[in-house]
């Protein structure tokens, strides 16, 4: 496992632990009469980071959820074809998400959109999502072209 992959796992894991801690403190705070103001906004930010990192890690490690009921019964040659087709469809889906997300980010960039309670700047979190989608698309492209050369 490379250093960058280990770093990504740490970043995603810390963000997930932060989301868990924030939600735990918010629930405890509600019960003891000391609510954690803005906990939902903080949770959203942490989940964006952990989900984005998770998407990239799952793509690089080729560990996305898949339905293997049919693919496991294919011959090795057809399995390669199915894997390539799956990568191509995943690329189309991720590219569609990237185009839509980048469009929204560009459209709202100058509006300085922030959350209502704490003022979390959503445009920077959109950059995190777009960067993750861009990395995902790039890696899928590399994997598709590498498989084409085999």
Q: According to the model, what pLDDT value does residue 150 have? A: 66
135 falls in which pLDDT band (50, 70, 90)? very high
Distance CA(20)–CA(2), nearest Å, equals 27
Give residue 64's pLDDT. 80
Lowest mean pLDDT among 32-41, 68-77, 115-124, 138-147: 68-77
Q: CB pairs under 8 A, 24+ apart, for 105-113? A: 105/130
The reported pTM is: 0.87
């Amino acid at each position: 496992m490379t250093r960058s992959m280990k770093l990504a796992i740490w970043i995603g894991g810390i963000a997930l632990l932060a989301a868990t801690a924030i939600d735990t403190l918010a629930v405890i705070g509600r019960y003891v009469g000391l609510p954690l103001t803005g906990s939902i906004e903080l949770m959203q930010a942490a989940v964006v980071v952990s989900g984005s990192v998770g998407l990239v890690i799952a793509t690089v490690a080729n560990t996305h959820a898949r339905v293997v009921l049919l693919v496991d019964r294919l011959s090795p040659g057809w399995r390669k074809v199915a894997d390539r087709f799956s990568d191509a469809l995943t690329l189309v889906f991720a590219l569609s998400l990237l185009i839509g997300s980048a469009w929204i980010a560009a459209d709202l960039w100058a509006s300085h959109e922030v959350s209502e309670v704490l003022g979390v700047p959503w445009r920077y979190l959109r950059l995190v999502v777009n960067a993750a989608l861009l990395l995902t698309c790039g890696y899928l492209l590399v994997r598709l072209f590498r498989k084409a050369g085999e």
